[in-house]
Amino acid sequence: AQSVTQPDIHITVSEGASLELRCNYSYGATPYLFWYVQSPGQGLQLLLKYFSGDTLVQGIKGFEAEFKRSQSSFNLRKPSVHWSDAAEYFCAVKAAGNKLTFGGGTRVLVKP
Amino acid sequence: SQTIHQWPATLVQPVGSPLSLECTVEGTSNPNLYWYRQAAGRGLQLLFYSVGIGQISSEVPQNLSASRPQDRQFILSSKKLLLSDSGFYLCAWSSDSNQPQHFGDGTRLSIL
């Protein structure tokens, strides 16, 4: 069965600094990969997705992610963080069937 | 455009009482529908999904049940709530199993 690991539970970053969130997955083939963001008390919003093709994908709000097959990773990045980026971020993997498997999430705190 | 609605946003219920959470989707036909639970400080757990009217798949044995009486309506129910049913319940839809899932704003359920 597929699994997703987000090694960092919390990350604190200064406003204007770069951000990278790690995601590692376990699956035998190339999965469909997603990043979602969740503000407190809200649902999840899709940031970006990877299905195939170019391994660097662009998403909304200035985020991008890079799929690295050799490392089974799909890390999320943003060059310059804004205070509004403070939220929880979830990586998710879609393998066979209907199931989307989520990582445990990384909470991002932004310092002024 | 497609929208998803969940209600209520917040619910406080006593142990042993029944539960009914409703989710509706607009702007699409025959969506896949999902119910997730998010416990405090944890990731998302898929509870149920449905690929069509009356078709429900359960991912984990539990005190809850789901129904899909209409194409774009998905209901989460319980006959007798347990303390362990507390959490944040999220409904989601996708156009098919390989497409991203889009989430509602969630229902915060507290059991007293």
Decide: A32 and A93 in contact? Cβ < 8 Å: yes
Q: What are phi and psi of B72, to 5 degrees?
A: -115, 25
Q: What is the pLDDT of residue A102?
A: 92
For chain B, what is the mean pLDDT? 93
**Contacts of B58-63 spanning 24+ positions with Cβ under 8 A:** B59/A99
Q: What integer is the mean pLDDT of A54-82?
A: 96
pLDDT digits (tens, 9 = 90+) for B43-73: 898 999 999 999 999 988 678 999 999 999 9
Identity of residue A82: H
Q: What is the pLDDT of residue B60?
A: 80
Tokens of A31: 């999965």
Contact between A41 and B49 using a beta-carbon 8 Å cutoff? no
Tokens of B79: 């006959």
pLDDT-based confidence at residue A36 (cuts at 50, 70, 90) = very high
Q: What is the pLDDT of residue A52?
A: 86
Determine the Cα–Cα distance for residues A65 and A50; give it in Å rounded to an integer. Answer: 9
Smallest Cα distance from B26 to chain A, Å: 17
Q: What is the pLDDT of residue A7?
A: 96
Q: Under an 8 Å CB criterion, which residues of B touch A? A: 6, 32, 34, 42-44, 46, 49, 51, 57, 59, 90, 92, 97-98, 100-106, 108
Alpha-carbon dihedral sign for residues A29, B91, A59, A37: negative
Q: What integer is the mean pLDDT of A22-34?
A: 88
User: If you ran DSSP here, which 8-state letter would residue A64 be given?
Assistant: E
Tokens of B8: 């209520």
Determine the Cα–Cα distance for residues A37 and B18; give it in Å rounded to an integer. Answer: 31
| Residue B16 clears pLDDT 80, i.e. is over it | yes
Strand pairing report for A100-102 and A106-111: unpaired
Q: What is the pLDDT of residue B52?
A: 94
Decide: A71 and A82 in contact? Cβ < 8 Å: no
Contact between B90 and A43 using a beta-carbon 8 Å cutoff? yes
Smallest Cα distance from B79 to chain A, Å: 26
Q: What is the pLDDT of residue A104?
A: 92
Contact between B103 and A41 using a beta-carbon 8 Å cutoff? no
| Residue B89 clears pLDDT 90, i.e. is over it | yes
User: If you ran DSSP here, which 8-state letter would residue A52 be given?
Assistant: S
The residues near A53 (Cβ < 8 Å, ≥ 6 apart) are none
